[in-house]
Structure 1
Amino acid sequence: MTDVASPTGLRKWWADRCWRAGGRLDRMGRWLLLHAPVAARAYARLLIGRRRPPRVFPGWTFGYEYFVERRWMAMRRGALWELALERSLDVPLTVPWHGGTRVEVMLGNDHSLCLYVAGSFEPNEFAFLDRLLRPGMTFIDIGANEGLFSLFAARRVGAVGRVVAVEPSSRERRQLERNVERNRLGNVTVVPHALGGEAGSARLHIAAKLHGGHNTFGEFVHEGASAVGSEEVPVETLDALAQRLALDRVDAVKIDVEGAELKVLNGGRDLLRTARPALLIEANEEALRRQNAGTAEMIALLRELGYEILVFSGRTGDVERLAENGMLSANIVAVPID
């Protein structure tokens, strides 16, 4: 029997009661999902936590609050998420996102695991952009997916600023457009093309539901990702896009295109030399290699164009200069030296 008279005993007693209550809630939530979906969505909404402003999160990894910290509320939300995945249930939810925006997610995929269950997605990258973006700026989101970066940037740059959201996948683009419309963001231009090193067309492999954010022109590199189809999509260069949209300034560019990052940079050399935007780029060696590139080539090109490379520190979550022979973070920042 637990001695609740001591502080340690009281903590153990309280933890035991909390986890027992959590188990009962999980059983109820799973029953509702299977037998009363309308009530289940209402229950799921009650579990949504409040959205904090962007801030650094040292050591963040995918689903950290759920898989590592095992936070009590995250575990309750996770019970619903896992059942939706296991039974292939369609459970749409609208969750709060940065800047007072709202995003629709479907339980049972990567996005809802981060946004609904864990409550965070690439927090260090968003904290960096929160410091960088100001009203009146222009932000290009290449590989916008469902719009997490685009929505946030649109609120940061304001009505006098501009966001260009580039998303070639028709499935993700439909969700992106719904999210833009839901948040009444008139400063977002959605581009239904891919960007690359030269104009033309390419076949985009569409990932299955669980890993819907990993559509690629190469081969899938993330564990468990597989194709459910493909689309032939138009490709233009970043330079051509900026000229076509008459962008008189570009202040920041995010590039997350599952291994085609070097191609995008090569197609934007003129813009990078003249507009000198800050860059936030995914740096996945294996994804790049499967499209005949590599991080070393990408870093060399950025330095040739006069950029300094910053990485996200695992210790602080903030950006710091890339040390000689240092390790790259999953995403890197490149800032113009001049």
Structure 2
Amino acid sequence: MSANKMTNPKTTPPFRFALAQYLCRSLPPIIAMRLKEIIYPERLGQRDNFLFLARSQTGGWFKGSTVEMHALELGICGYSTYRNWAIAIALCNPGDTILEVGANIGTETVGFADIVGCDGHVYAFEPFSPNVESLKTTLALTSCQNVTLLPIALGDKDGIVEFVPPKGTSTGTGRVAHLDTGVHLTPLQTTPIGVQCAALDSLRDRIPSAAFICMDAEDSEVYVLRGAANYIERSRPSMVVEAHRKVQSELHAELQRQGYIEFSISRYGLKPVVELAKHNANWFCVHQSRIKVARYVNKTLLKCVLMPCLFGMNPMRGIRRRKLRHV
């Protein structure tokens, strides 16, 4: 994407983009995301290639372009994958630590940073250098400076691994090439590059115990969990992991081995994983010693999905006010 095609964020936004912002920002997310697709679908964002500066529903600022799907969602609605924020809100207190494995361009990072506040910390792992640069741009807008960006992949060993970069504007589809998980190059994918990889256990003396881990590693979740077994055992944090259909069986076995119980994150809340799905899913994983927390997480999820994004109604709103009450 050439810089001269980017629109200055101070210029007038496309009419339909501005209309979608105006109508969607205060609606319940379950409605807002659908309305956004009607008023300003992804194809219009690709066409307009508009660079914007927008505030997230949690209060932080984000800079992105309408050509990227997740950035477009945050620019209009104030969030992208808001269910992960809802889970973090339920689990985390000001001053806590969050680990984000696969931070992409920062659409979730900005909310996590707001949720843990200036006394907390977010460790964001992202190996793809163009995404890292986008993250740096957004993180420069924060007043707390409570995010540490680590430009590496996580896995089960330290060293250089092959990484398949994302194609085009799909910034979140890059992945480590593990042949035994069925991740092969296709004509639509680009040539692998070498990136630095580390096992989380090798970093455990540098990273405090986490209250929450959010993991979107594009089929590498099993490797990340194996390489983080000692770190995870230290505090048994609740986690969100992407469960790709091709590796769900292996992922389920590894989570069970580490003492975790999985819930599928559905449209309206959590559902126990009673059988493995034939499609990709996102799992909320809680250690069996803390199973009771799932009920509160489910309650917070429902509020975030169904309530208007207004102060005092949706938990995503008023995050910074919540921090002030804890100072």
> Structure 1 residues 176, 324: CA separation in 2 closer, same or farther (over 3 Å shift)?
same
> Structure 1 residues 95, 230: CA separation in 2 closer, same or farther (over 3 Å shift)?
farther
Q: What is the match of residue 82 of structure 1?
A: 43
Aligned to 2:204, what secondary structure does the other structure show? helix
- The equivalent position to 2:203 in structure 1, one of 238, 241, 245, is 241
Residue 259, structure 1, aligned to residue 212, structure 2: no
Aligned to 1:134, what secondary structure does the other structure show? coil
> Structure 1 residues 336, 37: CA separation in 2 closer, same or farther (over 3 Å shift)?
closer
TM (normalized to structure 1)? 0.72
Say what the alpha-carbon RMSD is for the aligned residues. Answer: 3.3
> For residues 297 and 105 of structure 1, what CA distance do their matches in structure 2 show?
36
> Structure 1 residues 91, 116: CA separation in 2 closer, same or farther (over 3 Å shift)?
same
Q: Deviations over 1:42-72 (max 9, x none)?
A: 757743336459x7749x9xx63344xx3xx
Question: Structure 2 regions of 5+ residues with no counterpart?
Answer: 290-327
Q: Deviations over 1:85-121 (max 9, x none)?
A: 25xx642112221311121221223224422356652
> For residues 239 and 148 of structure 2, what CA distance do their matches in structure 1 show?
19
Q: What is the match of residue 5 of structure 1?
A: none
Q: What is the match of residue 300 of structure 1?
A: 253
Q: What is the match of residue 159 of structure 2?
A: 200
1:51–1:96 Cα contact (<8 Å) kept: no
> Structure 1 residues 227, 186: CA separation in 2 closer, same or farther (over 3 Å shift)?
same
Following superposition, the deviation at residue 147 of structure 1 comes to: 1.4
> For residues 93 and 37 of structure 1, what CA distance do their matches in structure 2 show?
5
Which of 191-200 and 179-188 deviates more?
179-188
Following superposition, the deviation at residue 228 of structure 1 comes to: 4.8
Q: What is the match of residue 26 of structure 1?
A: none
Following superposition, the deviation at residue 186 of structure 1 comes to: 1.3
1:136–1:157 Cα contact (<8 Å) kept: yes
Q: How does 1:258-277 map to 2 (within 5 A)?
A: 258-277=218-237
2:71–2:107 Cα contact (<8 Å) kept: no
Q: Deviations over 1:113-134 (max 9, x none)?
A: 4223566523333222221121
Paired letter, 1:82: R
Q: What is the match of residue 17 of structure 1?
A: none
Q: Percent identity?
A: 22
Q: What is the match of residue 284 of structure 1?
A: 244
1:255–1:279 Cα contact (<8 Å) kept: yes
Higher RCO, Cα 8 Å, sep 6+: 2
Q: How does 1:1-338 map to 2 (within 5 A)?
A: 40-41=12-13, 43=15, 46-47=18-19, 48-49=21-22, 51=25, 57=30, 64-67=34-37, 70=38, 75=39, 77-78=40-41, 82-83=43-44, 85-86=46-47, 90-116=49-75, 120-218=79-177, 226-228=188-190, 230-243=192-205, 245=206, 247-286=207-246, 294-314=247-267, 317-323=268-274, 330-338=281-289
Aligned to 1:147, what secondary structure does the other structure show? coil
TM (normalized to structure 2)? 0.74
> For residues 148 and 9 of structure 2, what CA distance do their matches in structure 1 show?
35
Paired letter, 2:281: A
> For residues 281 and 187 of structure 2, what CA distance do their matches in structure 1 show?
18
> For residues 159 and 66 of structure 2, what CA distance do their matches in structure 1 show?
36
Following superposition, the deviation at residue 153 of structure 1 comes to: 1.3
> Structure 1 residues 149, 190: CA separation in 2 closer, same or farther (over 3 Å shift)?
same
> For residues 257 and 267 of structure 1, what CA distance do their matches in structure 2 show?
13
Following superposition, the deviation at residue 255 of structure 1 comes to: 0.8
Aligned to 2:203, what secondary structure does the other structure show? helix
Equivalenced residues, count:
278
> For residues 213 and 137 of structure 1, what CA distance do their matches in structure 2 show?
26
> For residues 275 and 34 of structure 1, what CA distance do their matches in structure 2 show?
44
Q: What is the match of residue 304 of structure 2?
A: none
> Structure 1 residues 328, 39: CA separation in 2 closer, same or farther (over 3 Å shift)?
closer
Q: What is the match of residue 19 of structure 1?
A: none
